[in-house]
């Protein structure tokens, strides 16, 4: 019973634990996820880019507090990138992921959201 399943796709683990996932997304669920996710990611990228550009360009913002604010914007920018990766690797596609890709997906989210939280704690 001591076997290593690193070469299996996530579908194997879903079947082993009796977890039901949809075989495919079509129509409104897929369009809703992609439209909302794309709008959300564009908003994240644009707003955080504006904050970073303001801190870099304006000499009045060259103080530690504003550097921390720019660092928070950078962390949120990278969280948006992680969300894009999640958006295209979720739902039925998650069953085709390898163990390494699944851990990459989860690690990107955990790391980016932890970075945002730590920045908020430092600013507070």
pTM of the shown model: 0.76
Q: What is the pLDDT of residue 22?
A: 66
**Contact by Cβ (8 Å): 22, 107:** no
The average confidence (pLDDT) of the chain is 85
- Above 70 in pLDDT, residue 64? yes
- Above 80 in pLDDT, residue 76? yes
43: which 2 tokens?
Answer: 């908003």
Q: What is the pLDDT of residue 23?
A: 67
Q: What is the pLDDT of residue 1?
A: 56
What b-and-e string marks burial along 46-65, b requiring 16 or more CB atoms within 10 Å of the CB? eebeebbeebeeeeeeeeee
Could you tell me the pLDDT band of residue 27, with boundaries at 50, 70 and 90? confident
Q: What is the pLDDT of residue 70?
A: 95
Q: What is the pLDDT of residue 47?
A: 96
**Contact by Cβ (8 Å): 108, 53:** no
Could you tell me the pLDDT band of residue 105, with boundaries at 50, 70 and 90? confident
Higher pLDDT, 41 or 96: 41
Q: Cα(114)–Cα(123) distance, rounded to whole angstroms? A: 14
Mean of the pLDDT values across residues 3-12?
75
- Above 90 in pLDDT, residue 13? no
């Amino acid at each position: 019973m001591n076997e290593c399943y690193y070469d299996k796709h996530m579908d194997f683990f879903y079947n082993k634990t009796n977890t039901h996932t949809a075989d495919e997304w079509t129509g409104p669920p897929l369009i809703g996820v992609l439209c909302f996710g794309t709008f959300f990611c564009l908003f994240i990228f644009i707003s955080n880019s504006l904050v970073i550009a303001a801190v870099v360009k304006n000499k009045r913002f060259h103080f530690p507090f504003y550097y921390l604010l720019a660092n928070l914007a950078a962390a949120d920018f990278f969280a948006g990138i992680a969300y894009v990766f999640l958006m295209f690797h979720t739902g039925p596609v998650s069953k085709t992921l390898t163990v390494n890709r699944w851990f990459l997906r989860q690690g990107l989210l955990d790391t980016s959201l932890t970075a945002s939280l730590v920045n908020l704690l430092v600013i507070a």
